[in-house]
Chain A
Amino acid sequence: MRYAMAIDTLKCVGCSDCVIACQMENNVPLGFCRDWVVESVHGTYPQVGLELRSERCNHCENAPCVRCCPTGASHIVDGGIVLVTPEKCIGCGACIQACPYDARYSHPEGYVDKCTFCVHRIDEGLDPACVAVCPTKCMYFGDLDDVNSDISKILARRKFKALAPEAGTNPQIYYLV
């Protein structure tokens, strides 16, 4: 099993509903977020292009945050989801330094926090909160090992990219372009 997410940058309108849904679902402390929306503008008016990307932890296959963690608090569970065990985390900040996506933050209680792919919802057969609320249905979540899953089908059909693949992390959030 290999969970992944595909996000259609051509459908996304940048409403940030995914961000609010995540903050509500996961009780993210005020002033922090586990996902965020980037607006990438290239060119100058009138020759201008725009890309909107809902970003989060890439649940990398070769996760540098897991490698550098001195206590094993950062770990990978079934389906390739990268999680943090708060009771093992000492708050040293190594994983925050190690993440090329700056997807981790120091929770006010001291431990490091990040996107969990809403593992508690996946276990119940639901989509992650961000995917579930998206009003444009631009996000696809599922198992890459299952060729019949929505995500496998859309990745087979569309062109896509990942963020900073040159960092060698093998990220699992795909952006349809």
Chain B
Amino acid sequence: MKEELFVSGRNIPNIDPYLNIWHWQIPLYLFLGGLAAGILFFAALFTIMGKEDQMYATVKKAPILAPIALVLGLIALFLDLKHQLFFWRLYTTFRIDSPMSWGAWVLMAITPLSFLWVASYAKELRPGWDWKYDILNKIEAFVIEKRIWLAWIIIVLSVILGIYTGILLSAFNARPLWNTSILGPLFLVSGMSTGAAAILLMSKSAAERRIIGGIDILLIVIELFFITHMIMGFQAGSQTQIDAAQLFLGGPFTVPFWVFVVILGLIFPVILEIMERLGVHMPVIVPAGLIIIGGLIFRFIMVEAGQITRYLY
């Protein structure tokens, strides 16, 4: 038996007895960042493939959500800061070692580009739209002409953004639950699948829904494999990682993780999507909504549970 306690009476807010320094802002941002990354990735991908017209919702309509999600995510990130008036310090330096620095700069680049993307389709989405100023019309014409270049930039940035949401956590080796290199790819795939689900909700074309639905099924299967792989990795890891995995294997996060994330957020919607392809029709909101909510809960659980895991005491 071993028991350790602070005899000097340490009880620091949000640190003792368990670390809880990141609240709702960070998981919400990780979700919104992943969602925006997914939507922008597909918009750019199908533009590069030259399928703007067949994939109307993917390329033109759904990207409206991306700048909204990114701005809400940035607000959440700002609210998380405790020394807010100094936030501009992020942009006076670039720290190659710090995932958060990468994230700050990628957001700085991809957010305005996502606005440009949406603005360049304003006239197609709303016939009769006018930018009022000559200079804006000129910028629009330029963006439309160079859209394929914009797509290439966005596809690269969206992958960095999506993978960064996971790497932000996985770079902290002090938190064993996060300290797995699979978390980057896992969050990327999860973000893309929530993005695909959002596109499904906005698409009115059966052919488009079939393509995006097929991609989504593939992404969810990969995600389930990554989750299995993550837990296997923990089980084969050091004692701290075995303890970390225990949170999901009998510990306090077992039910929320397996029921809300794995079953309701992944397995059940993937079954519904497969049934849809086999001809059993149902409202698209059911699988798509479950995937989106599951993705959100997944990030809340990972942030919350990860902070509990530690090396000492």
Contact = CB atoms under 8 A, between A and B. Distances in A.
Interface of A: 14, 16, 19, 31-33, 35-44, 52, 64, 67-73, 86-94, 96-102, 105-106, 109-111, 163-164, 166-168
Interface string B222-238: 00000000000000001
B310 interface: yes
A106 B7 contact: no
A86 B85 CA distance: 12
A53 B100 CA distance: 33
Given A42-B2, A89-B86, A110-B82, A70 B95 contact: yes
Interface in B161-194: 171-175
A166 B179 CA distance: 13
Given A69-B95, A69-B98, A40 B8 contact: no
28 contacts: A16-B7, A16-B9, A33-B12, A36-B6, A39-B7, A40-B3, A41-B4, A42-B1, A44-B1, A67-B97, A68-B171, A70-B95, A70-B101, A71-B92, A91-B81, A93-B21, A96-B15, A96-B21, A99-B174, A100-B311, A101-B311, A106-B82, A110-B82, A110-B86, A163-B312, A166-B240, A166-B311, A167-B174
B173 A31 contact: no
Interface string B92-128: 1101011111011000000000000000000000000
Contact of A98 (B4, B13, B174, B240): B174
Contacts of A19: 8
Contacts of B311: 100-101, 164, 166-167
Name the residue among B15, B21, B240 with the largest chain A CB count within 10 angstroms.
Answer: B21
A37 B8 CA distance: 5
Nearest to A44: B1
Nearest to A32: B12
B130 to A, nearest CB: 41
A91 B14 CA distance: 14
Contacts of B14: 106
Contact of A41 (B2, B22, B104): B2
Nearest to B102: A70
SS class, residues of chain A in contact with chain B:
loop
A9 to B, nearest CB: 13
A36 B10 contact: yes
Contacts of B21: 93, 96-97, 106
Contacts of B238: 166
B85 to A, nearest CB: 8
B173 A88 contact: no
Given A40-B4, A91-B83, A97-B307, 19 more contacts: A19-B8, A38-B6, A40-B3, A41-B2, A67-B171, A86-B83, A87-B86, A92-B81, A93-B22, A93-B80, A97-B174, A98-B173, A100-B174, A100-B311, A100-B312, A101-B312, A105-B12, A106-B13, A110-B81
B19 interface: yes
Nearest to B240: A166
A102 B310 contact: yes
Name the residue among A44, A72, A86 with the largest chain B CB count within 10 angstroms.
Answer: A72
A110 B84 contact: yes
A15 to B, nearest CB: 9
Name the residue among B81, B83, B98 with the largest chain A CB count within 10 angstroms.
Answer: B83
Nearest to A88: B89
A52 B7 contact: yes
B83 A110 contact: yes
Contacts of A163: 312
B8 A16 contact: yes
Contacts of B310: 100, 102
Contacts of B7: 14, 16, 37-39, 52
B278 interface: no
Contacts of A42: 1-3
B87 interface: yes
A71 B93 contact: yes
B90 interface: yes
Contacts of A87: 86
B100 A92 contact: yes
Contacts of B16: 102
Nearest to A36: B10
B172 A168 contact: no
A167 B1 CA distance: 23
A94 B100 CA distance: 8
